[in-house]
Structure 1
Amino acid sequence: MAFSNPPGLLPTEVAFLCEMEQVTIVPRQRLERLDLLGGTTRPLIPPQRTNLPLWLAILLKRQRRANIVPPPWLYVESLEEILELETKHFQTSFSLPPAPSSVARQTDFTGKSFYASTPFVESCTASAVPNALPYHWFEMSEMLLDAASDDISDPDRVRQLLRDVREVRLAKMRKEVELLSGDGEGTRLDGVGAMELAESRGFLTGVIDGLRKIDASREQARRDREDEERENRRYNDEDDDDEEDNEMT
């Protein structure tokens, strides 16, 4: 049985993955450590901060057992700086995500060092970079504003800035599509978030498929034209040979 869903992650699946992102909380009640699939959490001792998965932090917030500390990039000052970067200094590219140097370097079982990727990096905790949007920035901000708006300073202004940033980035993505062609050119999507990719994948793949069909028809027309020119040259050569034979006779 074939699935009717398009290839790639759906927005709901992207939001589900975002729930594994680590956020910082301030517990209001003591709570013993929990054994989760991702490992054992630290005991919650007020008012010591600790990092937990987003889904658990929201659960504790709704039970009034903890407050969520918004990441630095979700403050008004940081969003205003990001919006300025998106509109003025990055006319054709997106503001870059947190640099690998700001991410903790880890070591695998063979001793080789590597940089972990989302959601295994603390790009949404209280120690995150303030002027860079992480991979799950949109869905993270929506969940925090929905579940913990009282923990966010000036949530109405934050919503407005997030909407402006989103509109600027979507317009920029539509502009990037104009660079797609069959001449080997492409477009870079560095810094694009997970939800932006999930929502735009259908549009981008549709454009690319349309360009491929156009290129295929152009290529077929070029081949037909070359075949016709080749046939014309052959007929002309045969006519010249026939005229030479007639002259000789």
Structure 2
Amino acid sequence: MAFNHPPGLTPPEIAFICEMELVTIIPRQRLDRLDLLGGPVNPLIPPQRSLLPLWLALLLKRQRRANIVPPPWLHPVSLQEILELETTHFPDSFSPGPALSVPNTLQSHIRPFHTSAPFLPSCTADASAEALPYHWLEFAQMLLDSAADDLVEPDRVRQLMRDLREVRAAKMRKGVEVLTGEGDGVRLDGVGAMEIGEGRGFISGVVDGLRKLGASREQARKDREEEERENGYRGGGDEDDMQD
């Protein structure tokens, strides 16, 4: 039995993947070592900072056993600077994502492994403050919903996040114009996971609409040619008569 499921990841699935992002926490209680599927978690000893997957950090936060240290890019000052980049320096494209780096253990190899999104530790306390990571939208929403008291000026963060989302969504819609034969398109470098997931339905709808429009035009052309043949019209006939 086939399920009518849209192609690609849905927003809930993207949020689920985001929960594997590593975050920095400050434990409020001691916690013994945990053996998880993703690897062991070292014992938590207050007030030493530790790295945990987001889902576990949110669980400890709800239990009031830890505080989450927000990444630098989620600070109001950083979000304001990124918003200015989006509107002033990159009006027709998206601001670049975090810079990639090569692990020290691999620098001596001939073909080193380059870590890239979404496998960068871009949501920890050591993340870049000048760029939005791959899971920026869903990550920030989770922290605003469950750990707003750990953020600096959460109301200001919500406002800036809303502005960023609107500006970047407008760029995404502008890029779709190239599919209709209008505009020059827009580069999608730096687009986040949730933005892709949310825009896929809109873009797919535009493509399907253009495909149906093209099919209807082609069918109309065939019908017109068939009608002309039935009426005895031969293309180029007048020119042949004039030559005779």
TM-score, length basis structure 2: 0.85
Q: Give the conservation status (yes or no) of the 8 Å contact 1:105–1:113.
A: no
Q: What does the per-residue CA deviation read over 1:93-145, in whole Å, with 9 as the maximum and x for residues that have no partner?
A: 111110213x64675xx984212344432100001010100111011001111
Partner of 2:96: 96
Tell me the distance in 1 between the aligned counterparts of 2:168 and 2:96. Answer: 12
CA distance in 1, matches of 2:123, 2:197: 20
Q: Give the distance between the partners of 1:134 and 1:63, measured in 2 at CA.
A: 27
Q: What amino acid sits opposite 1:177 in the alignment?
A: V
The alpha carbon displacement at 1:92 in A equals 1.1
The answer on whether the counterparts of 1:23 and 1:52 sit within 8 Å (CA) in structure 2 is yes
Q: CA RMSD in A?
A: 2.8
The sequence identity of aligned pairs, in percent, is 66
Equivalence for 1:163:
162
> What residue identity is the alignment partner of 2:204?
T
Structure 2: runs of 5+ lacking an equivalent = 229-233
* Counterpart in the other structure of 1:121: 120
Please give the TM-score of this superposition, normalised by the length of structure 1: 0.83
Change (3 A) 1:211 1:105: farther
Map 1:164-203 to 2 at 5 A. Answer: 164-181=163-180, 187-203=186-202
Query: Secondary structure at the residue paired with 1:68?
Result: strand
Q: Aligned partners of 2:63 and 2:110: how far apart in 1?
A: 42
The count of aligned residue pairs is: 236
Residues in 1 aligned to 2:43 and 2:144: alpha-carbon distance in whole angstroms: 26
Partner residue in 2 for 1:246: none
Structure 1 alignment gaps of length 5 or more: 244-249
* Counterpart amino acid of residue 112 in structure 2: S
- Structure with higher Rg: it is 1
**Alpha-carbon distance change, 186 to 214 in structure 1, aligned in 2, over 3 angstroms:** farther
Partner amino acid, structure 2, of 1:139? E
Question: What corresponds to 1:33 in structure 2?
Answer: 33
Maintained 8 Å contact 1:182/1:211: no
**Are 2:235 and 1:232 equivalent residues in the alignment?**
yes
